[in-house]
Chain A
Amino acid sequence: MTAAPDAPAAAGRLRRALTDPLPPAAALALLAVAAAARDATVLCWASVGALAGYALSGSV
């Protein structure tokens, strides 16, 4: 007989994965480069702005 999955532990692992600091940085980086490639100036600057702010992570 196998033990039932530990739901709280699984939820904790999922929460940790979803709140990992790296994926948002990767998403913003991709968005900035994609916006530049499409000549979307406003979106590109906004993405670089968000990246610049996010690069200061950890201060609060």
Chain B
Amino acid sequence: MLFSPGWRAPVRQGWVLAVFTLGLVLGGTLSAAVLWLLSGLAAPVPPPARTAAIVAVAALGAARDLGLVRLRLPQNARQIPPEVLADRLRAGALRFGFELGTGVRTYVSATTPYVLALGLLLSRPGSAATLLAGAAFGAGRALSAVLAYLSRSPDRAALVGRRVPVVVKGAALAALTALAWLHLG
């Protein structure tokens, strides 16, 4: 845990967190920009078919995170090397955050990010909505680090480990509900 208590580095932990968060937001925005560019490929597909596909993808994502279906999804099954943080801590935290924020440089342990990416591709909500969703992805990923930093608890990892399954399932159900309501309501 990068933001757990017991920090001994010569750089203030808050600074590292700020730079890490900036990297996450930038990485998420970059991935969203790529999605926005690629979303033009979905333009010829009729809107009713795109709507059906978005809801189907969200439903499949929720089913997967609830353990109802088993489905292997593409991911970059590697950890970001720890050497990234070895020498220059602030620059390393920026790079580490950026790589995590793109969502394509390491493991993806939940299905909602896939639902988000495919939903943005198919929905084509416009450049502002797409870029903001990407920045929010980075910010959402940073939120857990911010909470870990603020908690100052040595038991944080155990608590997060207990809560993560609930968060993953709740996020998947909320994404399904919200996207179905937005497109069918």
- Residues of chain A touching chain B, judged by Cβ–Cβ distance below 8 Å, are 12, 15-16, 18-22, 24-26, 28-30, 32-33, 35-37, 39, 41-42, 44-60
Pick 8 A–B contacts, CB within 8 A, sort by A.
A21-B147, A28-B140, A33-B178, A42-B132, A51-B112, A53-B136, A56-B108, A60-B148
A41: min CB distance to chain B, Å: 5
Given A54-B143, A56-B110, verify A36-B185 contact (CB < 8 Å).
yes
With A21-B144, A57-B167, A60-B145 as given contacts, are A32 and B139 in contact (CB-CB < 8 Å)? no
Question: Main SS of the interface on chain B?
Answer: helix
Of chain B, the residue at the smallest CB distance from A45 is B133
Q: Which residue of A lies closest to B163 (CB)?
A: A21
**Cβ-defined contact, A32 with B175, below 8 A:** yes
Question: Which chain A residue has the least Cβ–Cβ distance from B93?
Answer: A60
Chain B hits for A49, CB < 8 A: 28, 32, 116, 132-137, 140
